Amino acid sequence: MDDAAINGIKDVGSISYKALNMARSLVKPGAKLIDVAEKLEGYLREQGYGCAFPLNLSINSEAAHYTPTLGDTKEFSEQDVVKVDFGAAKDGMLGDCAFTIDLSGEYGKLVESTDLALEAAISKVRAGAEVREIGRAIAEVIGSHGFKPIRNLGGHGVGKHDLHAEIFIPNFDNGDTTTLQEGQVIAIEPFATTSNGKGVVNDSDTFEIYGFIEAMPVRSQNARSVLAEIATKYPSEPFAVRWLSNVIPSKFGLYAAIRELLVAGAIESYPMLVEAAGGIVSQSEKELLVTKDACEILTK
């Protein structure tokens, strides 16, 4: 990675962290999820950035990939454990960071376990480190607090226009001896669940985030109009259905067009992920630049 690319990823990481931290004052009982999403996404656009992905606001047993629907009326409650996951995009450089807000006051130790696991994982990052070492550190910290790591979620490489690139970083020792390389950009994201959880997530039947694959022939004018908008504005990074309401304001018409595009193979879906046994989930994530002997935190 040359100096220009390093400066670009540092810039995107910094603004990602600023946007993420805005959620600390916005996520509160009675606040609408869609208001928080529009505030944070709008902030990035006002600053001259795009979104690496729609703001994720996943609650309780939801681990990832919930973003508000078009016209969403859902509000945060006093019983919610909220995962806030977000990142900026500019010139193909992508940010990715997350934390958990416990509105219930009952899951502080669970949240702490992922925060401390992230710290332990970061301490292991260096050129030549095996990803299994990082996963072992994560699992040991989470387990020592009486919780379970989510075994089928983990960290990942971050490339240009590629949020999940090159490498998978497990949340337990999975035996993978793949090593980190100097100059590599990665995101480490421990997920933990309560003792009654299964420690794995499943796909749900909720779909609000999609990604463009390629232009395909579709029958309806609505689908063609939506596809043209996606190909123009969101050709590389995932998008939320609600971002397309300027094309089709009708919720029914818009979601019908999305279904047509999905069936045609023009787009792919990212289903909301839910803990298999209904356990409460927490998450913590930072983006890092791997150096020879350690790493540099980009989302700070």
Looking at residue 1, what is its pLDDT? Answer: 76
Looking at residue 166, what is its pLDDT? Answer: 83
Are 161 and 190 contained in the same domain? yes
For this structure, is 62 an active site residue?
Answer: no
DSSP conformation class of 125? -
Q: How confident is the model at residue 255 (pLDDT cuts 50, 70, 90)?
A: very high
For this structure, is 96 an active site residue?
Answer: yes
Q: Side by side, which strands form the sheet with 56-59?
A: 56-59, 81-86, 97-102
Whether 125 and 119 have beta carbons less than 8 Å apart is answered as: no
Are 249 and 175 contained in the same domain? no
What percentage of the chain exceeds 70 in pLDDT? 100
Are 187 and 165 contained in the same domain? yes
Are 97 and 246 contained in the same domain? no
Are 24 and 52 contained in the same domain? yes
Q: Which of 136, 42, 52 is nearest to 94 (CA)?
A: 52
Are 190 and 73 contained in the same domain? yes
For this structure, is 140 an active site residue?
Answer: no
State the first-to-last Cα distance of the chain, in angstroms, to the nearest integer: 20
Q: Which of 241, 52, 267 is nearest to 161 (CA)?
A: 52
Are 254 and 292 contained in the same domain? no
| CATH number of the domain to which 239 belongs | 1.10.10.10
The model's pLDDT over 137-181, given as tens digits with 9 standing for 90+, comes to: 999 999 999 999 999 999 999 999 999 998 999 999 999 999 999
Distance CA(233)–CA(239), nearest Å, equals 9
For this structure, is 145 an active site residue?
Answer: no
Looking at residue 2, what is its pLDDT? Answer: 83
Q: Which of 72, 102, 164, 173 is catalytic?
A: 164
pLDDT over 90 at 99, yes or no? yes
Query: In angstroms, what CA-CA distances link 115 with 38, 78, 137?
Result: 26, 22, 12
Are 187 and 213 contained in the same domain? no
Distance CA(279)–CA(22), nearest Å, equals 27
Handedness of CA 82, 211, 161, 152 (dihedral sign): positive
pLDDT over 90 at 27, yes or no? yes
What mean pLDDT is predicted for residues 78-93?
98
Distance CA(49)–CA(236), nearest Å, equals 14
The model's pLDDT over 214-237, given as tens digits with 9 standing for 90+, comes to: 999 999 999 999 999 999 999 999
For this structure, is 275 an active site residue?
Answer: no
Are 148 and 252 contained in the same domain? no
DSSP conformation class of 117? H
Q: Which of 168, 172, 153 is nearest to 283 (CA)?
A: 153
Q: Which of 133, 156, 260, 287 is catalytic?
A: 156
Strand partners, 209: 240, 270
Are 165 and 244 contained in the same domain? no
Q: Which of 41, 80, 96, 112 is catalytic?
A: 96
Whether 187 and 158 have beta carbons less than 8 Å apart is answered as: yes
* Domain, as residue range, for 215: 206-273
Q: Which two tokens stand for residue 175?
A: 């035996």
Distance CA(284)–CA(82), nearest Å, equals 11
Strands 148-149 and 97-102: unpaired
Are 11 and 39 contained in the same domain? yes
Are 110 and 32 contained in the same domain? yes
Q: Which of 85, 115, 208, 287 is catalytic?
A: 85
Q: Domain total for the chain?
A: 2
Q: Which of 277, 139, 128, 263 is nearest to 202 (CA)?
A: 277
The model's pLDDT over 193-212, given as tens digits with 9 standing for 90+, comes to: 999 999 999 999 999 999 99
Query: What rounded mean pLDDT belongs to the chain?
Result: 97
Place of tokens 């969101």: 234
Q: pTM of the full predicted structure?
A: 0.96
Q: Which of 41, 80, 112, 189 is catalytic?
A: 189
| CATH number of the domain to which 8 belongs | 3.90.230.10
For this structure, is 164 an active site residue?
Answer: yes
